Structure 1
Amino acid sequence: MKKQKLALLCAASLITVALTGCRDQAANQLTPTSGQQTISTSVQPAGEPFDYEVDPETFTLTIIKNGVRIPASLGLPKTAVTDLVKEKDSMTWTYPGQVKVSIAKKNNYLDIHFDSIGAEQFQWPSVKAQSYVLPLGEGKIIPADDTNWRTFLDDQSYTWSESFSMDFFALKNDPFSLVYVVTNKFNDEVHFDTSSSLQFQFTHAFPSINKDKSYGFRLYVTGNDPQQMVQPYKSYIEESGKYVTLADKSKENPNIQKLYGAPQIYLWSESILTDHDVQWPKIRPLLSGALGEWLVKLLAGTAEGSDELAQVLKDIAKQNTLDAYQKRVVLGALNQGMKLKGFYSKAVFPNPGSEAQKLMDLGIDKLSEQKLYDLNKLLLKSVLKDAAGDISTWGQADSTDLINDMQKSGIQKAWIGLPNWADGLSNPRMVEAANQAGYLIAPYDSYHSIQEKPDPSWNTAFFPDPSLYDQATIAKKDGSKIAGFLQRGRKLNPTLAMPSVKQRVEGILQDGISYNSWFVDSDATGDIYDDYSPDHPTTQLQDMMARLDRFTYFAKDKHMVVGSEGGNDYASGVIAYAQGIESPVIAWGDPDMRENKNSPYFVGGYYAASGIPERYGKSVPIKPLYEKVYNDPVYALPLYKLVYNNSIITTNHWEWGTYKIKGDEADKMLYSLLYNVPPLYHLNRATWEQEKASILDYLKVWSPFHQQAVSQQMSKFAVLTEDRLVQSAQYGNDLKVIANFSEHEVKVDDDAIPAMSAVIYEGKQRSVFHAADNVKLLARK
């Protein structure tokens, strides 16, 4: 969006008001050159006493503490004001035709409130500081003169609800910081200005469909260490009753405890029939007849089409053997065909057998999805005969056997995500094996986008109710519809989707598939909307509440351990895990990473005929600027963990797993220990064999650490060296980790911390994880 500017009119005199509250005697500062900094284990007060001055004519707000004056907001254009009222602890005034403003003393903070009396939007505050502490994902500290961040943020506008994981920001200055708690997260935008040093403006819009014409802030003064800066927000959340611990959540669903010490693993076992299950010399002649012709015809109506298959069938008719590529195409066609309702053809499957006939007698259109897969497997077996093994063994080497091998290898807990619910319905033995191993297993599900017509390759975007596409999608102010993911289809209004949610979920679960977790895409990203459709106008608040209702349905009604993409904290009261807080989607709009397949930075496509799609499995470098702003520990701060460590388990976005970024594997592992973050892997049988040694070596250290740390608050955080590459975190009273991201050994209190290593202290016990040595165990191409 373009930079918003408001020419405001103002008036009045400077007013000074003293604020009193609890005083923190030790205000540690967090700077790149301050050496060791620690955080007190005692509970930090939510702010310190201060005085302030405000000029209503320009809305210049200055904070005064111990004689030091720091601007909380830069001035607006001078304007005459009306209705100025000054009282002992408050003052109010009006910008005619724009907004009414009130500032009130509330113990140890300023309560700043705006009500529109005509403004469609209002810009305040406009801030400038030495550094900014922002809840971008887990958290960042951004020096105002930092070249990397000024380049990255130049003239960028961020939607508040989507871009910031928590509703506060801090302006770090010497000798104290200013913390803004945002009390209305909706319709806000932050615009970064780098024309001199980095600064930003906060703008709130007042949509016509929203009766609430207000927004505001709580403004606190704190010390300069991260825990002091997050404490006002943490107190605000606790005050609102919205803070729910994992222990509280697990009282209703004990399965949540299966996340403690559990790596998060996407298991790519989509194929019903695999290379292990067929005898190619016997299957080749069958493809030259009715089966091959039928597959070409059947798949012609799908997104992938059948031209590639038709060519392969022509080629293999002239050969005695099939090469690896031809096998992949044939298996892909067979597997895709078995997932279609129209798979049955009397001419192709003249003798389906009694078990298949019983299912067909029920009516193919009336079969559940799971029963449909059962039928189609029986139909294919009736033609393949001894060219394929027993149906009960199909796909098990890459699924059930892999899960059993993980357990036998010592992985006691794991969260397993399936890229599609169909993967479990077509292979219920795999889902049951995960349960028996003590793991959580979840399907990927989404209600964000809707397609007008069904697409087998994107089943989450199709809903049986034909009225939804025209009558339940989100409209912009000009009446046009908001496009769905990848600009396909439309965005579905969540306030109108619950009947379809229940219909889908009941259909998936009706035959007893033993999913015990559920992953709901997008709902915790903050990607929420005002819907201007005349027949169902919806505010962002209503949109968000409908998404929370959706989470509650899975958590309460279906007793699932629920997780989502993102992890923005409005969802923290109900979801148990979030993917994206630690590593978000990186550089979505960079063509070198998303479009240019010849670029060394291309992250890969979404689709693979077999195996793990490159988007998730291909190891790639990222551009130096992205490496700095997304991954450099110098800028990282555990803001989210200092608030929510024992409330929600956060990890990487699934596009950016532990091994995704080439050259960053060691840093990721150290970060995961320091910040108590589950590693995230993408596995199939081949990848498991390549990465097994590295994974098991890491989990021997990480899993018991996380098992203990996740049930406690992060009680200390410290930057131990001037280059900020050695940091420590403490969980509770006795569990501490020091991570050394540097290339040389560092002494901390006479203890040697090896290069690229993490040292864990549990009481008097000390253990060391050497990340550089672990990376050598990877056998990846």
Structure 2
Amino acid sequence: MKFTFSPLGLLLLVSAPSFALTLEQGDQHWQIDPDTLAIILKQDSQTFTINQGSLQIDGQTQQATQVTQSAEQATWTLKPSGVQVSAQLQQGLNIHFRWPSAVGIERQAPKALRWFDLSEASTQTLLLPFDEGMRVPTDNPTWTRYLIDNHSGANTTQDLKMPFWSAQQSEHFISYQLLNATNNQLHFSEQQNKLDLQAEHWFTPLNQSEPFSMRITVGDEMLAGAKAYRDWREAAGLRVSLAEKRKANPQIEKMMGASHVYLFGRDLIAVQDVRDWWGLRDWFWRSEFTPSPELQKELASLKKGQDWLNQYQKKLLVGEINQALNQKFSAAPSSIQAQYQAAQQRKAWLTEHAGAYLKPSDQWGQGLAQPMISTLQQAGLSKLWLGLDNWMPAFYQPQVVDSAKQAGYLIGVYDSYNTAIEKGINDSWLTAQLPDRMRENCAIEKADGTLQLGFRGNGFYLNPACELGYVKQRVQDILHFGRFNSLFLDVDGTAMAREDYRSLSNETAMLAAFNTRMQDIANTPNLILGSEDGNALTTQGLVFAHGMETVGFGWTDQAMKSDKQSPYYLGNWYPDEKPDFFFKSAQVKEPYRSLLFAPEYKVPLYQTVFHDELISNHHWHSDSLKFSNVKAVRDLRAMLFNTPAMVHLSRDETHKNSARIEQLKHYQQGFLPLHEQLWDKALVDFRWLDKQGQVQQTRYSDGSILSANFSAQPFKLTGGEVLAPHTLMAKLSNGETLTWAPMP
């Protein structure tokens, strides 16, 4: 490896196997042991332990040879591995490792480069972007146990949402950015009663020509690492602001200040669409369909004038009618056009045969129905993103989609191209009904020769570079028949990078393929594209993402998953039109309540990087109303970080004073004026106003200041204003002052 130095640079050739290097720039003096990669920084009369010396390659310690050095650069070769290393001071300390081209790697025997070992003794806090941003005291045993159990072995593309972390030593923050974030793992452990962190990179047959590079910087604030990463993305040409995106697509204006709403239910009619229950019951008994034993048990003996149908019986009857129609006019797994035609056939047939017992067919629908859109308008909700988890409701009632757009709303549907399953396995899982050629030819092949199983072990995961022509056509068909002006593309935004030995594509290529696919779809005129998470490495074309502000947790916790008597039980995944999992209120148990929701453990790392580039929200498993005992904290933090609320709705919410509609109205009162002012501004400062982190403040690039009091006590701000408990106060640069507090 060669460097060209300035005439003033002193070039040394050192033959000894170990040599303490010192690189100097300004007041920074970086001392590096090239054998072990132990690094010490001396700056401003302070000494920081940047990295403990524990370098190993393929499980072996190394010795440095062929060491060259100037004032700001050094190179050496490690033996016995032959890995070439360079270090350079340029906006921090940049270190690059290159695998020797003459040394091959077997596909089932990748080579591990263990390069990082946290100085746990001198580190007080870790800042980790496993979500919006975690602040982790390294002497907290609960945090240590949680990270060991839940994040040890994490990768740095999908698990770590942005490829950096920061370690606080005294008043300084040392940040470690992975310039190429693929094929890495983080390992947490406990050492000397403190949290420890190690990192390693894996060289494989598919990535061995790519150097592994990282950058180490030092700052004096919690946001220093996020700001450095934002600057790096800007310099690399990766950042596309919302303002730039709006110039290309003015429809983005509709996202400014919009709350996000998922409308549940995918079948033709709802209980609310029936006007003559006795007539409908008698018709179903006379029809070509056969009532199930359960329905016969519940309804056969009831007599008009003597009995009445309870809510369960009504839902049972409507459910069987919908199921019978779905079977009579099968929609899957045919083409999108065939699914649209099946939807229209069901609607026409039911209108002809049972219309006398139902309300007008243009009013039918479960979540997506004209009464729902009318209710949202009557409630004064001016800006909304509406989402469906299935396109069939729009195929039943495309005119309702038009009505939503005329109301000024964005309306989109969930779609995905990452798992393909065989026909007949689960035909209601429409997105996974992909052509056989995709399932057979696009499945990812692992290093051991087996195929990568798909979501929850079903089918196979697919390479996103495969069959782009089919993907583009299906997307266009969905948008055409569903008349959507938005699309939610599942998984693509999560940076779920894998190696594919079938196509010989590495993780870097897979990330590029996700970005290419999203950008191609986003280029559709007037379409607003969103995806899952919005991880830093897969954001091209995205305007919004769901998942960053509340990530999934406790997947294996029995109290949350199985114990129906527990206050922490999340709920069943049924009924389809209003699943308890999404609508049932639950409490968050410890330690999740403290670690994942307490204000003192949250830092707006993601918003520092992406606030004016991409609108982030909760994962759809956990809308703003899901968790009763942390609702106020989540709501205040969303306002402080200027991110929208998410509220799930079902057809039984179709009156403007329903509890969930009232919550949406209240969110709009706070978020709409804030986001319309701040959507194109950077989050530039975050600080605690008290010592416990219960009163926090964010500042944006226009000078707007938002202060939130998470505590139960009033707090006096420096300007003399008293900030009430559980309240946010915003002083906007346009002169407006806004005060907002969460509803119970």
Settle same-fold status: TM greater than 0.5.
yes
Q: Deviations over 1:71-117 (max 9, x none)?
A: 21111266433222233432222222425243333333211001123
- 3-state SS in 2 of match to 1:292: coil
2:68 pairs with 1:85? yes
Of the three residues 105, 108, 118, the one matched with 2:88 is 105
- 1:396 CA drift (Å): 7.9
2:417 pairs with 1:417? no
2:606 pairs with 1:640? yes
Q: Distance in 2 between matches of 1:269 and 1:194?
A: 47
Paired position in structure 1 for 2:536: 569
Paired position in structure 2 for 1:360: none
Q: Deviations over 1:437-491 (max 9, x none)?
A: 101000011112111124232111111x212222221122112222222222221
Q: How does 1:216-615 map to 2 (within 5 A)?
A: 216-223=213-220, 225-278=221-274, 279-293=276-290, 309-320=292-303, 321-340=308-327, 342=329, 368-395=338-365, 399-454=369-424, 455-463=426-434, 465-511=435-481, 513-533=482-502, 536-610=503-577, 612-615=578-581
Q: 1:366 to 1:753 in 2, by over 3 A?
A: closer
Paired position in structure 1 for 2:702: 733
Partners of 2:685 and 2:699 within 8 A in 1: yes
Partners of 1:337 and 1:343 within 8 A in 2: no
Of the three residues 40, 64, 68, the one matched with 2:46 is 68
- 3-state SS in 2 of match to 1:435: helix
Q: How does 1:649-668 map to 2 (within 5 A)?
A: 649-668=615-634
RMSD: 2.3
Q: Which amino acid aligns with 2:144?
A: R
Q: Which moved more, 1:93-102 or 1:644-653?
A: 93-102
Q: Which amino acid aligns with 2:222?
A: P
- 3-state SS in 1 of match to 2:450: coil
Q: Distance in 2 between matches of 1:126 and 1:757?
A: 41
- 3-state SS in 2 of match to 1:209: coil
Partners of 2:17 and 2:64 within 8 A in 1: yes
Q: Structure 1: 5+ residue runs without aligned partners?
A: 1-9, 21-48, 297-308, 345-363, 776-781
Q: Which moved more, 1:523-532 or 1:114-123?
A: 114-123
- 1:666 CA drift (Å): 1.2
Q: Which amino acid aligns with 1:652?
A: H
Q: Distance in 2 between matches of 1:241 and 1:163?
A: 24
Q: Which moved more, 1:11-20 or 1:258-267?
A: 11-20
Q: Distance in 2 between matches of 1:315 and 1:758?
A: 52
Paired position in structure 1 for 2:596: 630
Q: 1:592 to 1:214 in 2, by over 3 A?
A: farther
Q: Distance in 2 between matches of 1:755 and 1:101?
A: 57
Q: Distance in 2 between matches of 1:182 and 1:475?
A: 26
Partners of 1:183 and 1:216 within 8 A in 2: yes
Structure 1 stretches of 4+ with a deviation exceeding 4 A read 364-367
Q: Deviations over 1:304-340 (max 9, x none)?
A: xxxxx34213542333354322321221232234345
Paired position in structure 2 for 1:17: 23
Q: Deviations over 1:729-760 (max 9, x none)?
A: 12233422110000111111122111111112
Q: Deviations over 1:411-448 (max 9, x none)?
A: 11110011111121112122111101101000011112
Q: Distance in 2 between matches of 1:111 and 1:588?
A: 38
Paired position in structure 2 for 1:32: none
Q: Distance in 2 between matches of 1:502 and 1:654?
A: 25
Q: 1:237 to 1:383 in 2, by over 3 A?
A: same
Of the three residues 111, 114, 119, the one matched with 1:120 is 111
Q: Distance in 2 between matches of 1:716 and 1:367?
A: 50
Paired position in structure 2 for 1:746: 715
Partners of 1:263 and 1:415 within 8 A in 2: yes
Q: Distance in 2 between matches of 1:254 and 1:551?
A: 19
Partners of 1:267 and 1:683 within 8 A in 2: yes
Q: Distance in 1 between matches of 2:478 and 2:323?
A: 19
Q: Distance in 2 between matches of 1:365 and 1:631?
A: 44
Q: Which moved more, 1:440-449 or 1:49-58?
A: 49-58
Q: Distance in 2 between matches of 1:486 and 1:228?
A: 38
Partners of 1:243 and 1:572 within 8 A in 2: no
Q: Distance in 1 between matches of 2:326 and 2:406?
A: 26
Q: Distance in 1 between matches of 2:62 and 2:667?
A: 61
Q: Structure 2: 5+ residue runs without aligned partners?
A: 1-15, 56-60, 104-109
- 3-state SS in 2 of match to 1:470: helix
- 1:226 CA drift (Å): 2.6
Q: Which amino acid aligns with 2:739?
A: V
Q: Distance in 2 between matches of 1:409 and 1:162?
A: 39
Partners of 1:250 and 1:256 within 8 A in 2: yes
Q: Distance in 1 between matches of 2:466 and 2:324?
A: 33
More contact order relative to length (CA 8 Å, sep ≥ 6): 1
Paired position in structure 2 for 1:683: 649
Partners of 1:369 and 1:508 within 8 A in 2: no
Residue identity over aligned pairs, in percent, reads: 26
Partners of 1:269 and 1:399 within 8 A in 2: no
Q: Deviations over 1:495-525 (max 9, x none)?
A: 11423312322332344x3211100111111
Q: Distance in 1 between matches of 2:483 and 2:724?
A: 45
Q: How does 1:697-776 map to 2 (within 5 A)?
A: 697-749=666-718, 750-763=720-733, 764-771=735-742, 774-775=743-744
- 1:609 CA drift (Å): 4.1
Q: Distance in 2 between matches of 1:114 and 1:145?
A: 32
Paired position in structure 2 for 1:616: 582
Q: Deviations over 1:563-597 (max 9, x none)?
A: 11111012334200011111111223333323444
- 1:343 CA drift (Å): 5.2
- 1:684 CA drift (Å): 1.9
Q: 1:516 to 1:366 in 2, by over 3 A?
A: closer
Q: Distance in 1 between matches of 2:167 and 2:526?
A: 42
Q: Distance in 2 between matches of 1:492 and 1:74?
A: 40
Q: Distance in 2 between matches of 1:236 and 1:172?
A: 21
- 3-state SS in 2 of match to 1:562: strand
- 3-state SS in 1 of match to 2:376: helix
TM-score by length of 1: 0.85
Partners of 1:434 and 1:440 within 8 A in 2: yes
Q: 1:397 to 1:646 in 2, by over 3 A?
A: closer
- 1:661 CA drift (Å): 0.8
Q: 1:276 to 1:59 in 2, by over 3 A?
A: closer
Q: 1:386 to 1:205 in 2, by over 3 A?
A: same
Q: Which amino acid aligns with 2:162?
A: M
TM-score by length of 2: 0.89
Q: 1:343 to 1:548 in 2, by over 3 A?
A: closer
Q: 1:153 to 1:618 in 2, by over 3 A?
A: same
Q: Which amino acid aligns with 1:717?
A: F
Partners of 1:341 and 1:365 within 8 A in 2: no
Q: Which amino acid aligns with 2:704?
A: L
Q: Distance in 1 between matches of 2:53 and 2:335?
A: 67
Partners of 1:338 and 1:373 within 8 A in 2: no
Partners of 1:148 and 1:628 within 8 A in 2: no
Partners of 1:73 and 1:125 within 8 A in 2: yes
- 3-state SS in 2 of match to 1:288: helix
- 1:393 CA drift (Å): 2.6
